[in-house]
């Protein structure tokens, strides 16, 4: 005897196997499928025949996946462009501003840096820029992670140790050291800015690798 719910469950598995893993489009497809089945049964067809006709109208799994891929491409392109602009500005404008601030600004806190601290601060700023741009330019060395969801998860994983270090620095290290203003600025540059460059480089390189390889 034909089991409609079981057939729909098997159809969902076929869609998942074809790569339609996002809950929203899959749920929308199932709604359309059930509506078509209901219309077919009202016309006098049996559930088995109505199901087959509804599936045919929706299309085969790989064709449905292809249509969703076409819809996702412009959104992915916009997301990538925004990420490139954001990371590019962070890796270029922020280091430039910090370098000028360390060398030229006579206002606090940069005015309190000695010449040796200025050199160390500039090294921290350059480390940030090199780590960020190094990740982008060496994207060919990164593994290709095709799933956006997996890449987002890896981004969170990359951010966790950096965030923990920042929290540790501000809550455990700073309160127990009598920093002068110049020392604190220098410690902040190395503790916050440099690790931030490493995190940006990892995320940027991973996204660039995925974009480059998926277009091939």
List, for residues 88-97, the tens digit of each pLDDT value: 998 999 888 8
Mean local confidence (pLDDT), 103-123: 75
Q: Which position has the token pair 């990892």?
A: 202
pTM above 0.75? no
Q: Rounded to whole angstroms, how far apart are CA atoms 91 and 2?
A: 61
In contact, 128 and 94? CB cutoff 8 Å: yes
Counting Cβ atoms within 10 Å, is residue 186 exposed (0-12), middle (13-18) or buried (19+)?
buried
Q: What is the pLDDT of residue 130?
A: 94
Highest-confidence range of 12-16, 101-105, 128-132, by mean pLDDT?
128-132
Q: Rounded to whole angstroms, how far apart are CA atoms 122 and 199?
A: 19
Q: Rounded to whole angstroms, how far apart are CA atoms 207 and 3?
A: 44
Q: What is the pLDDT of residue 165?
A: 92
Q: 133: which residues sit within 8 A by CB, 6+ positions away?
A: 91, 201
In contact, 73 and 148? CB cutoff 8 Å: no
Whether the predicted pLDDT of 39 surpasses 90:
no
């Amino acid at each position: 005897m034909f089991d409609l719910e079981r057939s729909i469950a098997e159809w969902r598995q076929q869609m998942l196997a074809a790569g339609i893993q996002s809950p929203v489009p899959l749920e929308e497809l199932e709604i359309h499928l059930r509506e078509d089945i209901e219309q077919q049964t009202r016309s006098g067809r049996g559930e088995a025949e109505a199901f087959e006709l509804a599936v045919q109208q929706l299309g085969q799994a790989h064709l449905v996946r292809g249509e969703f891929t076409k819809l996702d491409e412009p959104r992915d392109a916009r997301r990538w462009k925004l990420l490139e602009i954001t990371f590019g500005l962070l890796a270029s404008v922020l280091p430039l501003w910090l370098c000028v601030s360390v060398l030229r600004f006579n206002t606090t806190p940069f005015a309190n840096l000695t010449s040796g601290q200025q050199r160390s601060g500039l090294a921290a700023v350059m480390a940030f820029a090199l780590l960020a741009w190094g990740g982008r330019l060496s994207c060919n060395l990164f593994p290709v992670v095709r799933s956006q969801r997996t890449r987002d998860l890896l981004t969170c994983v990359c951010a966790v140790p950096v965030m923990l270090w920042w929290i540790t620095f501000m809550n455990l290290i700073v309160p127990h050291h009598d920093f002068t203003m110049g020392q604190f600025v220098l410690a902040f540059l190395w503790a916050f800015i440099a690790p931030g460059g490493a995190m940006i480089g990892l995320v940027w390189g991973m996204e660039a690798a995925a974009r480059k390889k998926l277009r091939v």
